[in-house]
């Protein structure tokens, strides 16, 4: 494999092309979206409801339901990033944290790893939201989230992965 060639860079992301020898021996050029990684937080309110955000996403030009999430800053741990993003997007802090694994959202063209967390024992806090984020905080029961996923109202893959994993681990019922 040769050194990657950077084709484009924006903020903390870049497109890089490099030569790869595949397991079958074929030598090919591959373009990868280099991503610093991200976190997703599934917050469980003290009444058992799940805290979600209703966020306008310019890339798809519409509002979606998702759990708070965000991109890692340079030299920031996933845990610290999760705490920061929960504060910024939902104005919440948590006393109890559960790391529930990692997810690879688009491994065919992107090297992003998403670190998933469940946050409990929530309380209010104040933090500055990013200026380009348009967010409304909403609360749903677990059954309401199940229904929204089944009816295709929740389409965000990281949200669905975290919800399923949290259920399988018994962290939400």
Active-site positions read: 131
Do residues 20 and 1 lie in contact, with contact meaning Cβ atoms separated by under 8 Å?
yes
Q: Which candidate, 95, 105, 116, 96, places its Cα nearest to that of 167?
A: 116
Helix (H, G, I), strand (E, B) or coil at 161: helix
Q: How far apart are the C-alpha atoms of 112 and 102, rounded to whole Å? A: 10
The end-to-end CA distance of the chain, in Å, is 47
Measured CA to CA in angstroms, residue 145 lies from 4, 11, 109, 150 at distances of 42, 33, 29, 9
Residue reference for tokens 């845990």: 79
Phi, psi of 18 (to 5 degrees): -150, 160
Going by the DSSP 8-state scheme, the letter that residue 4 receives in this structure is: -
Residue reference for tokens 């997703």: 40
């Amino acid at each position: 494999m040769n050194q990657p060639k950077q084709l484009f860079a924006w903020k903390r992301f870049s497109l890089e092309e490099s030569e790869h020898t595949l397991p079958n021996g074929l030598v090919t050029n591959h373009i990868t979206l280099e991503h610093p990684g991200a976190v997703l937080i599934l917050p469980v309110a003290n009444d058992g409801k799940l805290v979600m955000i209703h966020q306008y996403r310019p890339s798809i030009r519409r509002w979606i339901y998702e759990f708070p999430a965000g991109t890692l800053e340079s030299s920031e741990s996933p845990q610290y990033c999760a705490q920061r993003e929960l504060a910024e997007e939902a104005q919440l802090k948590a006393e109890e944290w559960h790391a529930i694994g990692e997810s690879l959202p688009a491994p065919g063209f992107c090297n992003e790893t998403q670190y998933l967390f469940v946050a409990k024992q929530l309380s209010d806090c104040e933090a500055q939201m990013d200026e380009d984020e348009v967010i409304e905080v909403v609360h749903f029961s677990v059954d309401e989230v199940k229904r929204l996923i089944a009816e295709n109202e929740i389409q965000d893959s990281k949200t669905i992965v975290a919800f399923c994993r949290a259920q399988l681990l018994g962290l939400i019922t």
